Structure 1
Amino acid sequence: MGGRIHNAGRYFGITDSRTADSWDFSCAESHKKGGGPMSKKTIVLLAFFLAALPAMVYASFTENSPEFREVTSQLNMDGHSDHDISTCKVRKAYNSEVIEMLNKDMSPEDIIRYYTDELGTGALKVPYKEGSGLLAWLMPAAGLAAGAAIAGLAIKRITNRKAEKDSPTIIEMQLSGGEYSSLEETLDNERKKYF
């Protein structure tokens, strides 16, 4: 039996100068001291470590965590959100602030709310789709529609004026019989000159 345990120790990377026969696996010495297989102090320390382990894991956010990416994808960062992080100091400062807030157990929604309270809706890349943010979405469309209407009216006026200038004005006059015959004679004479 001692040989199998010794080989298992080598397999799991246990290096000890003692032979497997000298190892004491019976825990008889700890029972003699009254400590049992594990002392109370060891159990308390182990329980504390296991209780603190999830908090340490959850509290350490990085730039690769989904919560961080969720927040930074929505922030404008004073116009620096599209800059390269290796060269932009403003973006580095924002990123470190966001990581710090996440590590202080702030939710992504709380962080977004903090920045919008401090900087207004300009802190976001895309404004909210409700309230005053809705106005920001509708103003470009309203401006485009108003501009198209003004341009259409201007084009219509210009084409109407040009059409009036190009077309001859016909004045209708009532001619008497003698005036009509003299006009016909004059037109015939003019036609004969040119044709």
Structure 2
Amino acid sequence: MKRLVVVMVCFLLTMVTTVNVAVIEAKAKTKTGISYSDPEFRATVDMLAMDGHSNDDLSSCAVKQEYYKDVVEMFDKGMSKQEILDYYENELGVQALLYPPAKGFNLTLWMTPYLLLAVVSILLFFIFKKWKSNRPELVMAEDTESEKELETELYIAMIEEERKKMNFY
């Protein structure tokens, strides 16, 4: 019985959220035909940080709803995606964008990880090369004929001893 109640509550919450999003999207239809599901609209709002609310659920976040309404109004006024992003960048600074533009000091921020990776790779290459050149090589001394015979005799003696233990004779 408890499982049934839990399943019903989850189902109802899902339906309420779905209906709420559908109502919000229906209200978002504008005179230019831009809706929340329009690819150009999605591309624009996906680039905005929305004061830290960009990952929140639209149906429960008033800040995100306000941003969406503002972007729809800007599209209604005839502004392009880049003009909208420039507007938010001028009003709120680079922090208004999820990804800072790759220009000026921000270009340094974008390039630093790749430069560090390249420098570390080069350093490791030279360190390993130096270690390899400084490592003494192991030189195997050539066995003389008498050493080989002695070794063979030892092996034969060991085998004979094991056979005696096992009573193979």
Structure 1 length-normalised TM: 0.41
Higher relative contact order (CA 8 A, sep 6+): 2
TM-score by length of 2: 0.47
